[in-house]
Amino acid sequence: MLFGRKKQNNPIEVPAGLADLHCHILAGVDDGARDDDQMYELMRLEYDCGVRYLCFTPHYNPALFPPKPEKIAESFEKAKAYAARELSGMELFLGNEVFMRPDTIERLRDGSCSALGGGKTVLAEFSPSMSAEEIRMYAVKLLSAGKTPLFAHIERYEHFDDLQDIFDLKDLGVKYQINTSAFFGPRKKLVSKLVEQGVIDVVADDRHNLTRGNPNLAEAYIYVDEKFGERAAQALFVRRPLDILNISNQ
C-alpha cells in the first residue's frame, strides 16, 4: 500500500499502475522542470504516487515557448535511461499540450507537435478568452482530421459553466481532463457533478515543479475513491488514460 486513509474502517489502497497524461516534467523544454536533476526528482515523485505510465506533455505554444525538438528528444532519452535504471516498471510516453491555433492541424501533420504517446488523442489547450464557438470549431477540426481532442484542465474555462456545451461536445467525441486541484477549487461542485455523470475522462496534476500546489495523483486518487467510489477512481486514473495510450489493462 502506498497511501491510505480509513474508509469505513478499510484503508484505501492506491494501486501501482496509475497513468499521468499531463505534466511538464521533461527537462529544459518549457516552464516545467529546469534541469535533469529536477526531472528525475519529479519522476520519482510520480513513481512514489503509484504512476507507472507517464506521458510527458511539454507545451506546444510557439508564442510563449520556442519549440525545442532536439532538447525534447535529448531529455526524453535521459528520462528513459533514468526510468530503466531507477524506476522499475515505469513506462514513458511523449506528447504535447497543444495550444490551439489556426495552424494546429498542419503542425500536427508535419510533426511539429504530437498526440499523446503518438496515438490519436491530442491534449488541447485553449486561450481563456476563446469563445465557446471557437472552441467548438477547433474540436470539430481535430475530429475531422481523425484526432480525438482531450481538453486540458477544462475547469479553467468560463464556458465550463454551461453544462450543455460540455455534454454536446462530449457527444461529438471530445474527452475531458481536469487537474487534481479542480476537486477543491471554485468549481468543485460542477466538477463533482461531471465526475458523477461519467463525463470526465482523465485526472492529472499538470505538474511543473516540486512546489506548485496541486495535490498529487495519489492524494487525488484517494479523494475520488472516498467520494465517488473505487470504480470511478480506477476509471479516471487507470482505465480511461490507458485506453488513450492504447494500453490494455487486463
Candidates 97, 201, 225, 243; binder of Fe ion (CB under 5 A) is: 97
- Written as nine digits, the cell of 174 is 471530445
Smallest gap from Cβ 153 to Fe ion, in A, equals 7
How far, CA to CA in Å, does 221 sit from each of 55, 59, 151, 201, 202? 18, 25, 20, 14, 11
Rounded least distance, CB 160 to Fe ion, Å: 16
20 vs 225 by CB, closer to Fe ion: 20
Q: Is 30 in the site for Fe ion (CB under 5 A)?
A: no
* C-beta of 32 vs 225, nearer to Fe ion: 32
| Candidate ranges 88-96, 101-109, 162-170, 200-208; the one touching Fe ion (CB under 5 A) | 200-208
Minimum gap (Å) between residue 97 Cβ and Fe ion: 5
Compute the distance between CA of residue 25 and CA of residue 216 in angstroms, rounded to an integer: 14
Residue count at the site for Fe ion (CB under 5 A)?
2
Q: How far is the CB of 99 from Fe ion (least distance, A)?
A: 10
Name the one residue in this structure whose C-alpha cell is 467510489: 229
206 in contact with Fe ion (CB under 5 A): yes
Rounded to the nearest 10°, the torsion over CA 179, 184, 188, 189 is 150
Shortest distance in whole angstroms from residue 113 CB to Fe ion: 13
Helix (H) or strand (E) holding 50: none
Length of the chain: 250
CA dist 160 → 23, 40, 132 (Å): 22, 35, 9
Binding segment (CB under 5 A) for Fe ion, from list 42-50, 82-90, 92-100, 233-241: 92-100
Interface residue list for Fe ion (CB under 5 A): 97, 206
